[in-house]
Amino acid sequence: MSLRQHLEAHQHLFSRLMDLQPRLDALIDEATRAIEAGGQLLVFGNGGSAADAQHLAAELVGRFAADRRALPALALSSDTAVLTAVANDLGYDRVFARQVEALARPGDLLLALSTSGSSPNVLRAVAAGAERGCVCWGMTGRAPNLLSALLTDRVLAVPSTETARIQEAHGFLGHVLCAQLERALRL
Protein backbone atom coordinates (compact mmCIF):
# COMPACT_ATOMS: atom_id res chain seq x y z
CA MET A 1 0.00 0.00 0.00
CA SER A 2 1.15 3.49 -0.76
CA LEU A 3 1.21 6.36 1.71
CA ARG A 4 -1.97 7.70 0.11
CA GLN A 5 -3.75 4.35 0.56
CA HIS A 6 -2.69 4.14 4.22
CA LEU A 7 -3.85 7.70 4.81
CA GLU A 8 -7.18 7.07 3.11
CA ALA A 9 -7.77 3.93 5.21
CA HIS A 10 -6.88 5.90 8.36
CA GLN A 11 -9.18 8.79 7.44
CA HIS A 12 -12.05 6.46 6.58
CA LEU A 13 -11.82 4.73 9.96
CA PHE A 14 -11.40 7.95 11.93
CA SER A 15 -14.47 9.44 10.26
CA ARG A 16 -16.44 6.61 11.91
CA LEU A 17 -15.11 7.12 15.46
CA MET A 18 -17.82 9.65 16.33
CA ASP A 19 -20.14 6.66 16.71
CA LEU A 20 -18.14 5.80 19.85
CA GLN A 21 -18.84 9.16 21.53
CA PRO A 22 -21.54 7.93 23.97
CA ARG A 23 -19.39 5.06 25.21
CA LEU A 24 -16.27 7.23 25.37
CA ASP A 25 -18.22 9.73 27.48
CA ALA A 26 -19.28 6.90 29.79
CA LEU A 27 -15.65 5.72 30.11
CA ILE A 28 -14.52 9.27 30.92
CA ASP A 29 -17.26 9.61 33.55
CA GLU A 30 -16.39 6.31 35.21
CA ALA A 31 -12.64 6.99 35.13
CA THR A 32 -13.26 10.43 36.66
CA ARG A 33 -15.37 8.92 39.43
CA ALA A 34 -12.77 6.23 40.11
CA ILE A 35 -9.97 8.78 40.46
CA GLU A 36 -12.08 11.17 42.55
CA ALA A 37 -12.88 8.28 44.91
CA GLY A 38 -9.19 7.47 45.36
CA GLY A 39 -9.02 4.67 42.81
CA GLN A 40 -6.51 4.01 40.09
CA LEU A 41 -6.51 3.06 36.43
CA LEU A 42 -4.89 -0.26 35.55
CA VAL A 43 -4.24 -0.56 31.81
CA PHE A 44 -3.01 -3.65 29.97
CA GLY A 45 -2.63 -5.41 26.63
CA ASN A 46 -0.18 -7.42 24.53
CA GLY A 47 2.36 -6.27 21.95
CA GLY A 48 1.34 -2.94 20.41
CA SER A 49 -1.53 -2.77 22.88
CA ALA A 50 1.00 -3.13 25.72
CA ALA A 51 2.87 -0.16 24.29
CA ASP A 52 -0.41 1.78 24.04
CA ALA A 53 -1.18 0.89 27.68
CA GLN A 54 2.23 2.18 28.78
CA HIS A 55 1.78 5.35 26.72
CA LEU A 56 -1.62 6.03 28.28
CA ALA A 57 -0.36 5.43 31.83
CA ALA A 58 2.62 7.71 31.18
CA GLU A 59 0.34 10.52 29.97
CA LEU A 60 -1.76 10.21 33.14
CA VAL A 61 1.07 9.91 35.65
CA GLY A 62 3.23 12.52 33.91
CA ARG A 63 1.15 15.04 32.05
CA PHE A 64 -0.86 15.24 28.87
CA ALA A 65 -1.59 18.88 28.02
CA ALA A 66 -1.65 20.61 31.39
CA ASP A 67 0.74 20.93 34.31
CA ARG A 68 -1.19 19.19 37.07
CA ARG A 69 -0.96 16.63 39.82
CA ALA A 70 -0.09 13.08 38.86
CA LEU A 71 -3.02 10.78 38.19
CA PRO A 72 -2.92 7.19 39.50
CA ALA A 73 -2.39 4.93 36.49
CA LEU A 74 -0.34 1.81 35.97
CA ALA A 75 0.40 -0.23 32.84
CA LEU A 76 0.51 -3.91 33.80
CA SER A 77 2.89 -4.62 30.90
CA SER A 78 5.73 -2.50 32.27
CA ASP A 79 7.24 -4.72 34.99
CA THR A 80 9.28 -7.32 33.11
CA ALA A 81 10.32 -9.15 36.29
CA VAL A 82 6.68 -9.71 37.28
CA LEU A 83 5.64 -10.58 33.72
CA THR A 84 8.38 -13.16 33.25
CA ALA A 85 8.04 -14.66 36.75
CA VAL A 86 4.29 -15.11 36.41
CA ALA A 87 4.58 -16.39 32.83
CA ASN A 88 7.26 -18.89 33.87
CA ASP A 89 5.63 -20.07 37.09
CA LEU A 90 1.90 -19.78 36.38
CA GLY A 91 1.55 -19.41 32.61
CA TYR A 92 1.32 -16.48 30.24
CA ASP A 93 -2.47 -16.48 30.38
CA ARG A 94 -2.20 -15.26 34.02
CA VAL A 95 0.36 -12.42 33.66
CA PHE A 96 -2.25 -9.65 33.96
CA ALA A 97 -4.79 -11.43 36.19
CA ARG A 98 -2.12 -12.09 38.81
CA GLN A 99 -1.24 -8.39 38.91
CA VAL A 100 -4.93 -7.48 39.17
CA GLU A 101 -5.20 -9.91 42.10
CA ALA A 102 -2.26 -8.16 43.79
CA LEU A 103 -2.96 -4.51 42.97
CA ALA A 104 -6.63 -3.90 42.17
CA ARG A 105 -9.09 -2.61 44.74
CA PRO A 106 -12.86 -2.23 44.53
CA GLY A 107 -13.65 0.92 42.55
CA ASP A 108 -10.47 0.87 40.47
CA LEU A 109 -10.94 1.08 36.71
CA LEU A 110 -9.36 -1.57 34.49
CA LEU A 111 -8.86 -0.74 30.82
CA ALA A 112 -8.13 -3.79 28.66
CA LEU A 113 -6.65 -3.18 25.20
CA SER A 114 -6.93 -5.96 22.62
CA THR A 115 -7.16 -5.47 18.87
CA SER A 116 -8.60 -8.97 18.41
CA GLY A 117 -10.62 -9.08 21.61
CA SER A 118 -9.59 -12.69 22.10
CA SER A 119 -6.36 -12.68 24.15
CA PRO A 120 -6.76 -15.18 27.02
CA ASN A 121 -4.55 -13.19 29.40
CA VAL A 122 -6.59 -10.03 28.81
CA LEU A 123 -9.89 -11.86 29.29
CA ARG A 124 -8.66 -13.47 32.55
CA ALA A 125 -7.56 -10.09 33.89
CA VAL A 126 -10.99 -8.59 33.18
CA ALA A 127 -12.63 -11.51 35.00
CA ALA A 128 -10.26 -11.04 37.95
CA GLY A 129 -11.07 -7.33 38.05
CA ALA A 130 -14.81 -7.96 38.02
CA GLU A 131 -14.40 -10.40 40.92
CA ARG A 132 -12.63 -7.67 42.89
CA GLY A 133 -15.29 -5.03 42.32
CA CYS A 134 -13.40 -3.07 39.67
CA VAL A 135 -15.06 -1.19 36.85
CA CYS A 136 -13.85 -2.96 33.70
CA TRP A 137 -13.63 -1.36 30.25
CA GLY A 138 -12.09 -2.46 26.98
CA MET A 139 -10.81 -1.09 23.71
CA THR A 140 -10.90 -3.60 20.91
CA GLY A 141 -11.38 -4.01 17.19
CA ARG A 142 -14.63 -4.80 15.43
CA ALA A 143 -17.23 -6.49 17.60
CA PRO A 144 -18.47 -9.03 18.28
CA ASN A 145 -15.49 -10.68 19.92
CA LEU A 146 -14.87 -12.33 23.30
CA LEU A 147 -13.88 -9.09 25.05
CA SER A 148 -16.88 -7.16 23.73
CA ALA A 149 -19.17 -10.02 24.81
CA LEU A 150 -17.64 -10.02 28.28
CA LEU A 151 -17.89 -6.25 28.74
CA THR A 152 -21.12 -5.60 26.76
CA ASP A 153 -21.69 -1.82 27.04
CA ARG A 154 -18.27 -1.00 28.51
CA VAL A 155 -16.22 -1.42 25.37
CA LEU A 156 -14.97 0.90 22.66
CA ALA A 157 -15.05 -1.39 19.62
CA VAL A 158 -13.20 0.29 16.77
CA PRO A 159 -15.00 -0.70 13.55
CA SER A 160 -12.04 -2.37 11.84
CA THR A 161 -10.26 -5.71 11.64
CA GLU A 162 -6.94 -4.19 10.54
CA THR A 163 -4.51 -4.21 13.48
CA ALA A 164 -2.60 -1.07 12.48
CA ARG A 165 -5.76 1.00 12.07
CA ILE A 166 -7.21 -0.31 15.36
CA GLN A 167 -4.03 0.63 17.22
CA GLU A 168 -4.04 4.09 15.65
CA ALA A 169 -7.61 4.57 16.86
CA HIS A 170 -6.80 3.23 20.34
CA GLY A 171 -3.95 5.73 20.64
CA PHE A 172 -6.21 8.56 19.55
CA LEU A 173 -9.02 7.52 21.91
CA GLY A 174 -6.46 7.27 24.72
CA HIS A 175 -5.38 10.86 24.05
CA VAL A 176 -9.01 12.02 24.12
CA LEU A 177 -9.46 10.18 27.42
CA CYS A 178 -6.41 11.96 28.88
CA ALA A 179 -7.55 15.38 27.70
CA GLN A 180 -11.06 14.88 29.02
CA LEU A 181 -9.84 13.55 32.37
CA GLU A 182 -7.71 16.67 32.80
CA ARG A 183 -10.75 18.79 32.03
CA ALA A 184 -13.22 16.77 34.13
CA LEU A 185 -10.92 16.73 37.14
CA ARG A 186 -10.20 20.46 36.64
CA LEU A 187 -6.50 19.90 36.85
Q: How would you write the pLDDT of the chain (187 residues) with one tens digit per residue?
A: 899 999 999 999 999 999 999 999 999 999 999 999 999 999 999 999 999 999 999 999 999 998 999 999 999 999 999 999 999 999 999 999 999 999 999 999 999 999 999 999 999 999 999 999 999 999 999 999 999 999 999 999 999 999 999 999 999 999 999 999 999 988 6
Predicted confidence at residue 171, as pLDDT, reads 98
**Mean per-residue pLDDT of the chain:** 97
End-to-end Cα, the chain, rounded Å: 42
Domain range 3-184, its CATH number among 3.40.50.10490, 3.30.2130.10, 3.10.129.10, 3.40.50.880: 3.40.50.10490
Domain extent listing, the chain: 3-184
pTM here is 0.97
Predicted confidence at residue 164, as pLDDT, reads 96
Predicted confidence at residue 36, as pLDDT, reads 97
Residue 107: which region, alpha, beta or left (left: phi > 0; alpha: psi -120 to 50)? left
Predicted confidence at residue 186, as pLDDT, reads 80
Is residue 134 a contact partner of residue 100, using CB atoms and an 8 Å limit?
Answer: yes
pLDDT 10s digits, 115-162: 999 999 999 999 999 999 999 999 999 999 999 999 999 999 999 999
